[in-house]
Amino acid sequence: MLTDKQISKLKEILGTPIKIAIIMHKSPDGDAVGSSLGMKSYLEKFGHKVSVLSPNAYPEFLKWMPGTKSVIDFEKTATIANQAILKAELIIFLDFNSLKRIGDLEIAVKKSKAYRLVIDHHPQPENFAEYAYHNAGASSTAELVYDFITLLGDNKKIHKDIANCLYAGIMTDTGSFRFSSTTAHTHEVVAELMRHGAETAKIHRFIDDNNRDIRLRLLGYAVTEKMKILPDFATGFITLTQSELKRFDYKDGDTEGLVNEPTSVKGIVFSALFTELKDGEIKISFRSKDNFDVNQFARNHFNGGGHRNAAGGKSDLSMDETIIRFLTLLSDYKKELKG
Ligand SMILES: [Mn+2]
Protein backbone atom coordinates (compact mmCIF):
# COMPACT_ATOMS: atom_id res chain seq x y z
CA MET A 1 0.00 0.00 0.00
CA LEU A 2 1.06 3.58 -0.49
CA THR A 3 2.00 5.83 2.43
CA ASP A 4 0.62 9.39 2.71
CA LYS A 5 4.09 10.66 1.83
CA GLN A 6 4.16 8.51 -1.32
CA ILE A 7 0.71 9.70 -2.35
CA SER A 8 1.82 13.34 -2.00
CA LYS A 9 4.93 12.59 -4.03
CA LEU A 10 2.89 10.88 -6.77
CA LYS A 11 0.56 13.90 -6.88
CA GLU A 12 3.64 16.09 -7.26
CA ILE A 13 5.03 13.90 -10.08
CA LEU A 14 1.66 14.02 -11.83
CA GLY A 15 1.26 17.76 -11.10
CA THR A 16 2.76 18.78 -14.45
CA PRO A 17 2.32 17.01 -17.80
CA ILE A 18 4.92 14.25 -18.24
CA LYS A 19 5.58 11.23 -20.47
CA ILE A 20 4.16 8.03 -19.05
CA ALA A 21 4.43 4.41 -20.20
CA ILE A 22 1.83 1.90 -19.04
CA ILE A 23 2.89 -1.75 -19.39
CA MET A 24 0.56 -4.75 -19.44
CA HIS A 25 1.55 -8.38 -18.97
CA LYS A 26 2.06 -10.93 -21.74
CA SER A 27 -1.16 -12.17 -23.37
CA PRO A 28 -3.12 -9.43 -21.62
CA ASP A 29 -6.62 -10.27 -20.42
CA GLY A 30 -9.66 -8.06 -19.88
CA ASP A 31 -8.35 -6.79 -16.57
CA ALA A 32 -4.91 -5.88 -17.93
CA VAL A 33 -6.31 -4.11 -21.00
CA GLY A 34 -9.22 -2.47 -19.13
CA SER A 35 -6.98 -1.19 -16.32
CA SER A 36 -4.37 0.11 -18.74
CA LEU A 37 -6.74 1.90 -21.10
CA GLY A 38 -8.82 3.24 -18.18
CA MET A 39 -5.65 4.58 -16.58
CA LYS A 40 -4.54 6.10 -19.89
CA SER A 41 -7.87 7.95 -20.33
CA TYR A 42 -7.61 9.22 -16.75
CA LEU A 43 -4.03 10.47 -17.07
CA GLU A 44 -4.65 12.12 -20.44
CA LYS A 45 -7.20 14.39 -18.78
CA PHE A 46 -4.22 16.12 -17.14
CA GLY A 47 -2.26 16.55 -20.36
CA HIS A 48 0.15 13.68 -19.82
CA LYS A 49 1.50 11.92 -22.88
CA VAL A 50 0.65 8.28 -22.28
CA SER A 51 1.85 5.19 -24.20
CA VAL A 52 0.28 1.81 -23.49
CA LEU A 53 2.54 -1.15 -24.22
CA SER A 54 1.73 -4.81 -24.59
CA PRO A 55 4.34 -7.58 -24.92
CA ASN A 56 2.16 -9.24 -27.59
CA ALA A 57 -1.29 -9.13 -29.19
CA TYR A 58 -4.52 -9.18 -27.21
CA PRO A 59 -7.87 -10.74 -28.07
CA GLU A 60 -10.29 -9.23 -30.58
CA PHE A 61 -13.17 -9.18 -28.09
CA LEU A 62 -11.37 -6.45 -26.12
CA LYS A 63 -10.79 -4.16 -29.10
CA TRP A 64 -13.92 -2.06 -28.59
CA MET A 65 -12.27 -0.26 -25.70
CA PRO A 66 -11.52 3.44 -26.07
CA GLY A 67 -7.81 3.91 -26.82
CA THR A 68 -7.35 0.39 -28.14
CA LYS A 69 -5.84 1.55 -31.46
CA SER A 70 -2.99 3.34 -29.74
CA VAL A 71 -1.68 0.25 -27.93
CA ILE A 72 1.91 -0.52 -28.93
CA ASP A 73 2.49 -4.24 -29.54
CA PHE A 74 6.12 -5.07 -28.70
CA GLU A 75 6.07 -8.17 -30.88
CA LYS A 76 5.22 -6.03 -33.92
CA THR A 77 7.08 -2.78 -33.17
CA ALA A 78 9.83 -3.42 -30.65
CA THR A 79 11.77 -0.21 -31.41
CA ILE A 80 8.78 2.06 -30.83
CA ALA A 81 7.95 0.17 -27.64
CA ASN A 82 11.49 0.46 -26.29
CA GLN A 83 11.64 4.17 -27.14
CA ALA A 84 8.38 4.81 -25.30
CA ILE A 85 9.85 3.17 -22.20
CA LEU A 86 13.18 4.99 -22.40
CA LYS A 87 11.49 8.38 -22.87
CA ALA A 88 8.99 7.86 -20.05
CA GLU A 89 9.38 9.75 -16.78
CA LEU A 90 6.94 7.39 -15.04
CA ILE A 91 6.32 3.71 -15.82
CA ILE A 92 3.10 2.15 -14.55
CA PHE A 93 2.87 -1.65 -14.35
CA LEU A 94 -0.67 -2.96 -14.21
CA ASP A 95 -2.00 -6.41 -13.29
CA PHE A 96 1.25 -8.32 -12.69
CA ASN A 97 3.88 -8.47 -10.00
CA SER A 98 6.92 -10.01 -11.64
CA LEU A 99 8.95 -8.50 -14.50
CA LYS A 100 9.12 -12.01 -15.98
CA ARG A 101 5.56 -11.40 -17.18
CA ILE A 102 6.58 -8.70 -19.70
CA GLY A 103 9.10 -10.71 -21.72
CA ASP A 104 11.82 -8.70 -23.47
CA LEU A 105 10.21 -5.36 -22.56
CA GLU A 106 12.09 -5.98 -19.33
CA ILE A 107 15.38 -5.00 -20.99
CA ALA A 108 14.28 -1.41 -21.65
CA VAL A 109 12.58 -1.21 -18.25
CA LYS A 110 15.86 -2.14 -16.56
CA LYS A 111 17.68 0.65 -18.43
CA SER A 112 15.06 3.26 -17.59
CA LYS A 113 15.55 5.83 -14.80
CA ALA A 114 11.82 6.60 -14.58
CA TYR A 115 9.70 6.49 -11.44
CA ARG A 116 7.89 3.17 -11.17
CA LEU A 117 4.38 2.50 -9.95
CA VAL A 118 2.83 -0.95 -9.80
CA ILE A 119 -0.90 -1.51 -9.23
CA ASP A 120 -1.78 -5.17 -8.82
CA HIS A 121 -3.77 -7.84 -7.00
CA HIS A 122 -1.66 -10.99 -7.45
CA PRO A 123 -0.22 -12.67 -4.35
CA GLN A 124 3.51 -12.79 -3.52
CA PRO A 125 4.60 -9.60 -5.31
CA GLU A 126 8.20 -9.06 -6.35
CA ASN A 127 9.72 -5.75 -5.37
CA PHE A 128 10.56 -3.86 -8.58
CA ALA A 129 8.77 -0.53 -8.16
CA GLU A 130 9.24 2.12 -5.47
CA TYR A 131 5.51 2.88 -5.56
CA ALA A 132 3.37 -0.23 -5.06
CA TYR A 133 -0.38 -0.12 -4.72
CA HIS A 134 -0.99 -3.77 -4.05
CA ASN A 135 -3.92 -5.65 -2.55
CA ALA A 136 -4.23 -9.42 -3.05
CA GLY A 137 -7.77 -9.16 -1.64
CA ALA A 138 -8.96 -6.98 -4.53
CA SER A 139 -11.12 -8.55 -7.22
CA SER A 140 -9.11 -7.05 -10.04
CA THR A 141 -6.50 -4.48 -10.94
CA ALA A 142 -9.29 -2.39 -12.47
CA GLU A 143 -10.93 -2.15 -9.05
CA LEU A 144 -7.58 -0.97 -7.65
CA VAL A 145 -7.18 1.61 -10.42
CA TYR A 146 -10.56 3.00 -9.37
CA ASP A 147 -9.37 3.07 -5.73
CA PHE A 148 -6.10 4.70 -6.80
CA ILE A 149 -7.90 7.47 -8.70
CA THR A 150 -10.08 8.00 -5.61
CA LEU A 151 -6.97 8.07 -3.41
CA LEU A 152 -5.57 10.90 -5.54
CA GLY A 153 -8.85 12.77 -4.96
CA ASP A 154 -9.93 12.56 -8.58
CA ASN A 155 -13.03 10.39 -8.28
CA LYS A 156 -15.13 13.14 -9.89
CA LYS A 157 -12.87 13.12 -12.95
CA ILE A 158 -13.96 9.59 -13.93
CA HIS A 159 -15.88 9.82 -17.19
CA LYS A 160 -17.62 7.29 -19.42
CA ASP A 161 -14.51 6.02 -21.25
CA ILE A 162 -12.64 5.40 -17.99
CA ALA A 163 -15.72 3.81 -16.40
CA ASN A 164 -16.28 1.46 -19.36
CA CYS A 165 -12.68 0.24 -19.36
CA LEU A 166 -12.59 -0.32 -15.59
CA TYR A 167 -15.96 -2.05 -15.60
CA ALA A 168 -14.72 -4.45 -18.31
CA GLY A 169 -11.65 -5.26 -16.19
CA ILE A 170 -13.66 -5.99 -13.06
CA MET A 171 -16.33 -7.94 -14.90
CA THR A 172 -13.89 -10.21 -16.73
CA ASP A 173 -11.64 -10.88 -13.71
CA THR A 174 -14.58 -11.79 -11.46
CA GLY A 175 -16.28 -14.04 -14.04
CA SER A 176 -19.13 -11.53 -14.09
CA PHE A 177 -19.09 -11.15 -10.27
CA ARG A 178 -19.23 -14.90 -9.55
CA PHE A 179 -15.77 -15.64 -8.14
CA SER A 180 -15.04 -15.49 -4.42
CA SER A 181 -12.76 -12.50 -5.05
CA THR A 182 -15.91 -10.38 -5.57
CA THR A 183 -16.50 -8.29 -2.45
CA ALA A 184 -19.06 -5.76 -1.28
CA HIS A 185 -16.49 -3.13 -2.21
CA THR A 186 -16.33 -4.55 -5.76
CA HIS A 187 -20.08 -3.98 -6.11
CA GLU A 188 -19.73 -0.48 -4.62
CA VAL A 189 -17.04 0.37 -7.16
CA VAL A 190 -19.24 -0.97 -9.97
CA ALA A 191 -22.17 1.12 -8.74
CA GLU A 192 -19.92 4.19 -8.83
CA LEU A 193 -18.69 3.31 -12.32
CA MET A 194 -22.31 3.07 -13.47
CA ARG A 195 -22.99 6.50 -11.99
CA HIS A 196 -20.00 7.75 -13.98
CA GLY A 197 -21.47 6.39 -17.21
CA ALA A 198 -20.36 2.74 -17.53
CA GLU A 199 -22.53 1.10 -20.17
CA THR A 200 -22.74 -2.31 -18.52
CA ALA A 201 -25.24 -4.09 -20.79
CA LYS A 202 -23.35 -2.92 -23.85
CA ILE A 203 -20.04 -4.15 -22.41
CA HIS A 204 -21.46 -7.60 -21.62
CA ARG A 205 -22.67 -7.77 -25.20
CA PHE A 206 -19.28 -6.71 -26.60
CA ILE A 207 -17.44 -9.27 -24.49
CA ASP A 208 -19.83 -12.22 -24.19
CA ASP A 209 -21.77 -12.05 -27.44
CA ASN A 210 -18.96 -11.54 -29.84
CA ASN A 211 -18.24 -15.12 -30.94
CA ARG A 212 -17.39 -16.32 -34.40
CA ASP A 213 -19.54 -19.43 -34.83
CA ILE A 214 -16.43 -21.58 -35.22
CA ARG A 215 -15.31 -20.51 -31.76
CA LEU A 216 -18.53 -21.82 -30.27
CA ARG A 217 -17.95 -25.08 -32.15
CA LEU A 218 -14.43 -25.30 -30.65
CA LEU A 219 -15.87 -24.85 -27.15
CA GLY A 220 -18.56 -27.46 -27.87
CA TYR A 221 -15.95 -29.91 -29.17
CA ALA A 222 -13.70 -29.31 -26.16
CA VAL A 223 -16.51 -30.01 -23.69
CA THR A 224 -18.08 -32.93 -25.57
CA GLU A 225 -14.98 -34.76 -26.76
CA LYS A 226 -12.08 -33.60 -24.62
CA MET A 227 -13.34 -32.91 -21.11
CA LYS A 228 -12.43 -35.55 -18.51
CA ILE A 229 -14.23 -35.58 -15.18
CA LEU A 230 -12.54 -37.43 -12.33
CA PRO A 231 -15.04 -37.51 -9.45
CA ASP A 232 -12.56 -39.38 -7.20
CA PHE A 233 -10.30 -36.32 -7.31
CA ALA A 234 -13.06 -33.69 -7.57
CA THR A 235 -11.20 -32.64 -10.72
CA GLY A 236 -12.02 -31.96 -14.34
CA PHE A 237 -9.65 -31.14 -17.17
CA ILE A 238 -9.55 -30.44 -20.90
CA THR A 239 -6.71 -30.85 -23.39
CA LEU A 240 -6.42 -29.15 -26.79
CA THR A 241 -3.59 -29.90 -29.22
CA GLN A 242 -2.33 -27.62 -31.99
CA SER A 243 -4.01 -29.71 -34.69
CA GLU A 244 -7.35 -29.49 -32.89
CA LEU A 245 -6.99 -25.72 -32.48
CA LYS A 246 -6.11 -25.38 -36.16
CA ARG A 247 -9.16 -27.41 -37.13
CA PHE A 248 -11.31 -24.75 -35.46
CA ASP A 249 -9.33 -21.78 -36.86
CA TYR A 250 -8.09 -20.87 -33.38
CA LYS A 251 -7.47 -17.18 -32.62
CA ASP A 252 -6.02 -15.66 -29.42
CA GLY A 253 -8.68 -15.57 -26.73
CA ASP A 254 -10.86 -18.30 -28.25
CA THR A 255 -10.43 -20.60 -25.24
CA GLU A 256 -11.07 -17.76 -22.76
CA GLY A 257 -13.38 -19.03 -20.01
CA LEU A 258 -13.23 -22.67 -21.15
CA VAL A 259 -11.26 -23.67 -18.05
CA ASN A 260 -14.25 -22.69 -15.92
CA GLU A 261 -16.56 -25.26 -17.52
CA PRO A 262 -15.45 -28.36 -15.53
CA THR A 263 -15.94 -26.45 -12.27
CA SER A 264 -19.62 -26.04 -13.13
CA VAL A 265 -20.02 -29.81 -12.67
CA LYS A 266 -21.42 -30.62 -9.23
CA GLY A 267 -18.68 -31.70 -6.84
CA ILE A 268 -15.76 -30.50 -8.98
CA VAL A 269 -13.41 -28.11 -7.15
CA PHE A 270 -10.33 -28.21 -9.39
CA SER A 271 -10.09 -27.71 -13.13
CA ALA A 272 -7.28 -27.46 -15.66
CA LEU A 273 -7.05 -26.57 -19.34
CA PHE A 274 -3.98 -27.77 -21.26
CA THR A 275 -3.37 -26.00 -24.58
CA GLU A 276 -0.53 -26.87 -26.93
CA LEU A 277 1.13 -23.71 -28.27
CA LYS A 278 2.66 -23.42 -31.75
CA ASP A 279 6.15 -24.06 -30.39
CA GLY A 280 4.99 -27.25 -28.67
CA GLU A 281 4.99 -25.82 -25.16
CA ILE A 282 1.91 -26.72 -23.11
CA LYS A 283 0.15 -23.72 -21.61
CA ILE A 284 -1.97 -24.56 -18.57
CA SER A 285 -4.80 -22.67 -16.87
CA PHE A 286 -6.02 -23.71 -13.44
CA ARG A 287 -9.21 -22.87 -11.58
CA SER A 288 -10.40 -23.98 -8.17
CA LYS A 289 -13.12 -23.44 -5.66
CA ASP A 290 -12.83 -22.93 -1.93
CA ASN A 291 -9.49 -23.71 -0.34
CA PHE A 292 -7.60 -25.62 -3.01
CA ASP A 293 -4.73 -23.23 -3.79
CA VAL A 294 -3.93 -23.32 -7.51
CA ASN A 295 -1.42 -20.48 -7.16
CA GLN A 296 0.70 -22.77 -5.00
CA PHE A 297 0.01 -25.79 -7.20
CA ALA A 298 1.10 -23.90 -10.33
CA ARG A 299 4.19 -22.48 -8.59
CA ASN A 300 5.24 -25.85 -7.19
CA HIS A 301 4.72 -28.01 -10.24
CA PHE A 302 4.19 -26.04 -13.45
CA ASN A 303 6.48 -23.02 -13.33
CA GLY A 304 3.63 -20.54 -12.95
CA GLY A 305 1.41 -18.86 -10.41
CA GLY A 306 -1.52 -16.50 -10.05
CA HIS A 307 -4.28 -16.32 -7.49
CA ARG A 308 -5.55 -18.89 -5.00
CA ASN A 309 -8.52 -19.80 -7.25
CA ALA A 310 -7.14 -18.88 -10.68
CA ALA A 311 -3.61 -19.46 -11.92
CA GLY A 312 -1.54 -20.44 -14.92
CA GLY A 313 1.53 -22.49 -15.67
CA LYS A 314 3.42 -24.28 -18.42
CA SER A 315 5.08 -27.57 -19.26
CA ASP A 316 7.92 -28.40 -21.65
CA LEU A 317 6.88 -32.07 -21.80
CA SER A 318 4.62 -33.41 -24.55
CA MET A 319 0.87 -33.24 -24.01
CA ASP A 320 0.67 -36.94 -23.10
CA GLU A 321 3.60 -36.72 -20.68
CA THR A 322 2.15 -33.56 -19.14
CA ILE A 323 -1.16 -35.31 -18.48
CA ILE A 324 0.57 -38.35 -16.94
CA ARG A 325 2.46 -35.97 -14.66
CA PHE A 326 -0.76 -34.11 -13.78
CA LEU A 327 -2.60 -37.35 -12.96
CA THR A 328 0.27 -38.50 -10.74
CA LEU A 329 0.13 -35.17 -8.89
CA LEU A 330 -3.62 -35.55 -8.40
CA SER A 331 -3.00 -38.70 -6.37
CA ASP A 332 -0.69 -36.73 -4.08
CA TYR A 333 -3.38 -34.07 -3.59
CA LYS A 334 -6.32 -36.44 -3.29
CA LYS A 335 -6.92 -35.71 0.40
CA GLU A 336 -6.90 -31.92 -0.10
CA LEU A 337 -9.14 -32.16 -3.15
CA LYS A 338 -11.73 -34.35 -1.50
CA GLY A 339 -11.46 -32.61 1.87
MN1 LIG B 1 -6.27 -9.22 -12.85
pLDDT in tens, 19-41: 999 999 999 999 999 999 999 99
Give yes or no for a contact between 143 and 22, defined as CB atoms under 8 angstroms apart.
Answer: no
State the average pLDDT over residues 207-216: 93
- Between the CA of 243 and the centroid of ligand 1 the distance, in Å, is 30
> Which residues belong to CATH 3.90.1640.10 in the chain?
4-208
- Between the CA of 144 and the centroid of ligand 1 the distance, in Å, is 10
State the average pLDDT over residues 150-156: 96
pLDDT at position 252, please? 84
- Between the CA of 257 and the centroid of ligand 1 the distance, in Å, is 14
- Between the CA of 140 and the centroid of ligand 1 the distance, in Å, is 5
pLDDT at position 59, please? 87
- Between the CA of 109 and the centroid of ligand 1 the distance, in Å, is 21
State the average pLDDT over residues 146-151: 98
pLDDT at position 253, please? 85
- Between the CA of 156 and the centroid of ligand 1 the distance, in Å, is 24
pLDDT at position 170, please? 98
Residue-wise pLDDT for 260-313, tens only, equals 999 999 999 999 999 999 999 999 999 999 899 999 999 999 999 999 999 999
**pLDDT exceeds 90 at position 210:** no
Nearest C-alpha neighbor of 167 from the set 33, 321, 3, 331: 33
For residues 202 and 210, what is the distance between their CA atoms, to the nearest angstrom?
11
- Between the CA of 262 and the centroid of ligand 1 the distance, in Å, is 21
pLDDT at position 244, please? 98
- Between the CA of 219 and the centroid of ligand 1 the distance, in Å, is 23
Nearest C-alpha neighbor of 289 from the set 266, 264, 270, 267: 270
Percent pLDDT > 70 in the chain is 100
Q: Is the dihedral of CA 202, 56, 277, 313 positive or negative?
A: negative
**Beta-bridge partners for 240:** 275
> Which residues belong to CATH 3.10.310.30 in the chain?
213-338
Please tell me the CATH superfamily of domain 4-208, with its number: inorganic pyrophosphatase (n-terminal core) (3.90.1640.10)
Give yes or no for a contact between 107 and 79, defined as CB atoms under 8 angstroms apart.
Answer: no
- Between the CA of 311 and the centroid of ligand 1 the distance, in Å, is 11
- Between the CA of 95 and the centroid of ligand 1 the distance, in Å, is 5
Residue-wise pLDDT for 33-77, tens only, equals 999 999 999 999 999 999 999 999 988 889 999 999 999 999 999
pLDDT at position 22, please? 98
Architecture of domain 213-338: Roll (3.10)
Query: Rounded mean pLDDT of the chain?
Result: 96
Residue-wise pLDDT for 221-246, tens only, equals 999 999 999 999 999 999 999 999 99
Q: What's the whole-model pTM score?
A: 0.91
pLDDT at position 104, please? 96
Confidence at 1, pLDDT banded by 50, 70, 90: confident
Percent pLDDT > 90 in the chain is 95
Residue-wise pLDDT for 87-103, tens only, equals 999 999 999 999 999 99
pLDDT at position 94, please? 98
**pLDDT exceeds 90 at position 205:** yes
pLDDT at position 81, please? 97
Give yes or no for a contact between 109 and 102, defined as CB atoms under 8 angstroms apart.
Answer: yes
- Between the CA of 331 and the centroid of ligand 1 the distance, in Å, is 30
- Between the CA of 92 and the centroid of ligand 1 the distance, in Å, is 15
pLDDT at position 250, please? 96
